[in-house]
């Protein structure tokens, strides 16, 4: 296992491909395995760095609470550990919150920014009551029951019906790296406290915002707010997409990210 010692903790990370760096930041409770629909494509064009946030996956578990700024500092320190001055950054869900804070606290580290299914303040435009209840209660359920309970939030009904076996295999692999409940709760507390609505217009990096228009966990109004506040930001909305739009709309969303990065890349990326 490859780990970097940053900010007094050990962060697990993986590196794939060559070229300009792209840092991938995953969401609540998730590990770098959550990027399995992106890494094979992105690593054909870029040097891809995927890591496990503190309190998730193979990174250190914490003894006390923390905030999103601490997690953004972890990301910046990881780039420093890898001698990367500036990277393209793509964060989804909580990872998109970390990415926003990274762009605000360490603007020199962010060459371009991609924000997927995320929010500047989760409680301002909150999830549906059913989504909150299901995702919270699922943390204490066996893996299969948790999968059945929460899959509706991630995927459209038709896609889920057609892909259920593959999605279950994916869920099993990812569940093997899920953090203990107390670690998940610490991450959730950081999410609940996060609010950059008054600062998000200070993000100077070129920004792409992506969302599904049927996301019950992070409603698309959050992405529309971000795209309207971040100067010059682009917005891509996937009709029928839910919180796992980057899986259900893998080819389309990956292409959107690569096309965006090409506009701000220092080198020509192959198509």
pLDDT in tens, 31-77: 999 999 999 999 999 999 999 999 999 999 999 999 999 999 999 99
> Do the domain assignments include residue 110?
yes
Q: How far apart are CA 194 and CA 258, in angstroms?
A: 28
Q: Which domain holds residue 126?
A: 3-264
Residue 1's pLDDT is what?
Answer: 77
What's the rounded Cα separation, in Å, for the pair 92 and 114? 8
Q: Is residue 15 part of a domain?
A: yes
Nearest CA to 246 among 118, 137, 157, 130? Answer: 118
pLDDT recorded at residue 135: 86
Distance from C-alpha of 50 to C-alpha of 203, rounded to nearest angstrom: 23
Domain count, the chain: 1
pLDDT beyond 90 at 268: no
Position 194 in a domain: yes
Three-point CA angle 12, 25, 270, nearest 5°: 105
Residue 51 lies in a domain: yes
Of the given ranges (14-28, 168-182, 194-208), which has the lowest mean pLDDT?
A: 168-182
More confident residue, 143 or 98: 98
CA distances for 137 relative to 131, 132, 219, angstroms: 10, 8, 20
The CATH number that applies at residue 79 is 3.40.50.1820
Asked whether the CA dihedral 228, 233, 234, 235 is positive or negative, the reply is negative
| CB of 93 closer than 8 Å to CB of 27 | yes
This prediction has a pTM of 0.96
Q: Which pLDDT belongs to residue 271?
A: 55
Which residues are bridge partners to 48 per DSSP? 16, 22
Residue 269 lies in a domain: no
The residues pairing with 15 across neighbouring beta strands, listed in sequence order, are: 49
**What would the mean pLDDT of 15-34 be, rounded to a whole number?**
97
Range list of H helices, 125-229: 129-138, 143-154, 157-175, 181-193, 221-229
Within 10 angstroms of residue 137's Cβ, the number of other Cβ atoms is 13
- Least confident range from 139-148, 177-186, 252-261: namely 139-148
Element (H, E) at 77: helix 68-81
Picking from 119, 53, 108, 110, the residue whose alpha carbon sits closest to that of residue 87 is 110
For 16-76, the DSSP string reads ESSSSEEEEE--TT--GGGGTTTHHHHTTTSEEEEEPPTTSTTSPPPSS---HHHHHHHHH
Please report which confidence band the pLDDT of residue 267 belongs to, taking 50, 70 and 90 as the band edges.
low
> What was the pLDDT predicted at 132?
87
How far separated are the first and last CA of the chain, in Å rounded?
Answer: 32
> How far, in Å, CA of 211 to CA of 23, rounded?
19
Average pLDDT over the chain reads: 95
């Amino acid at each position: 296992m490859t780990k970097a010692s940053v900010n007094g903790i050990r962060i697990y990370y993986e590196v794939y491909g060559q070229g300009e760096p792209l840092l991938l930041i995953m969401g609540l409770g998730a590990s770098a395995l959550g990027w399995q629909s992106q890494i094979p494509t992105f690593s054909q064009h870029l040097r891809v760095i995927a890591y496990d946030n503190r309190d998730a996956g193979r990174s250190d578990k914490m003894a006390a609470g923390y905030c999103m700024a601490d997690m953004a500092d972890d990301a910046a320190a990881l780039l420093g550990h890898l001698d990367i001055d500036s990277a393209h950054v793509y964060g989804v869900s909580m990872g998109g919150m970390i990415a926003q804070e990274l762009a605000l606290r360490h603007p020199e580290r962010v060459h371009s920014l991609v924000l997927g299914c995320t929010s500047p303040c989760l409680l301002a435009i909150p999830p549906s009551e059913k989504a909150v209840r299901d995702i919270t209660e699922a943390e204490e359920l066996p893996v299969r029951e948790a999968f059945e309970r929460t899959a509706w939030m991630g995927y459209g009904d038709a896609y889920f019906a057609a892909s259920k076996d593959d999605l279950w295999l994916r869920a099993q692999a990812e569940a093997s790296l899920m953090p203990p409940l107390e670690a998940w709760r610490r991450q959730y507390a950081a999410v609940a406290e996060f609010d950059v609505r008054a600062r998000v217009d200070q993000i100077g990096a070129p920004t792409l915002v992506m969302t599904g228009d049927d996301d019950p966990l992070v409603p698309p109004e959050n992405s529309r707010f971000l795209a309207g506040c971040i100067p010059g930001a682009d917005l891509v909305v996937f009709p029928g997409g839910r919180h796992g739009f980057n899986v259900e709309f893998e080819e389309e969303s990956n292409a959107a990210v690569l096309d965006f990065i090409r506009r701000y890349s220092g080198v020509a990326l192959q198509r």
